Amino acid sequence: MIKVTVGLIIAMEEEFSSLESYISGRREIFIKGQRFVVGKINKVKIAVALAGIGKVNAARTTTTLSQNFSPECIISTGVAGGLGKLPKLSIFIADGLVQHDIDLTSFGRAKGVLPGMDSPIIRTTIEIKNMLKKVSSSANIGIIATGDQFIASEEKAKEIAEEFGALACDMESAAVAQVAKLEGIPFGVIRVISDDAGQNAHEDFSVFLEKAASLNGKIVADFLAHYIESKKSN
C-alpha cells in the first residue's frame, strides 16, 4: 500500500490535465486497468484518480483509492452544472449531496432515500468544508445533486433544484461521498461551474470546460497548500 495524505477524484482527462502542472515527483500506477497518479502538490502527498464519468465509475474509484492509498481525506473535484442558479466559472463547495436519480417512492420513501438512510442528503465533513471555504471565501455553498445524466433541460434542472434544494449537479460526487462515508474517510467537494444545465448546456460545457478545469486546478492546489499549513498548526 502507498500511503497518501489526500485523494483527489476527477472524472475526465481535461480535469486531470489542469492539475498536472502542479504535481511534482509524479508517477503513474495502474490498478486493474485504472489510472492513478501519485506525487506531491504544495508538499502534500496526493493520489489523483481518473475515475471516468458516472456513479459506478466514481464508486469503484473511491473504493480502490481508499483500499490502496489510505488517504486522510478524499476530495471530489472538477466541473459541474449550475442548475440555472450559479454563474458560469463560479466556484461551488458542497455541504451536502444527493443522488437525484434514486427513486423508491413506490415503497413510500422520499426521492433520493435508500434503505438505511433517514434523509436523501449526505453531509460533507465539516472540517474539510471549512478548509475549502478558506481557500475561496466567495464560493457558493450548498447541495449538489448527482445522477447518471448530463442535465441539459431547464425543466429538469428546475425539478432537481426544487426537489432537493440543490444549487449544482454532477455525475459523480454523491457516489464518492457515499463510499467515503461507508469507509469512514473524511470527504469534501469543490467544483467550478461550466454550464447552467439548461438547453444550451452541452454548448456551454464545450466552451467553458477548459477555463473551468483550469480554475479548478488552481483552487485544488490552493486548498492543498492550506491543508498542510492547517495540519502543521494543529
Which residues make Cβ contacts (< 8 Å) with residue 120, sequence separation at least 6? 98, 99, 102, 110, 111, 112, 113, 164
Q: Which of 170, 195, 196, 204 is catalytic?
A: 195
Rounded-to-integer distance, Cα 49 and Cα 30, Å: 10
Helix and strand element counts for the chain (H, E): 6, 10
Rounded-to-integer distance, Cα 30 and Cα 37, Å: 9
Q: Which of 15, 170, 172, 204 is catalytic?
A: 15
Which residues make Cβ contacts (< 8 Å) with residue 138, sequence separation at least 6? 91
Q: Which three cell numbers stand for residue 205?
A: 460545457
Alpha helix (H) residue ranges in the chain = 13-20, 55-69, 126-135, 154-164, 173-183, 201-233
> Is 154 an active-site residue?
no
Rounded-to-integer distance, Cα 86 and Cα 194, Å: 10
In what helix (H) or strand (E) does residue 75 lie, and over which residues does it extend?
strand 73-81
> Is 195 an active-site residue?
yes
Residues carrying an active site annotation: 15, 195
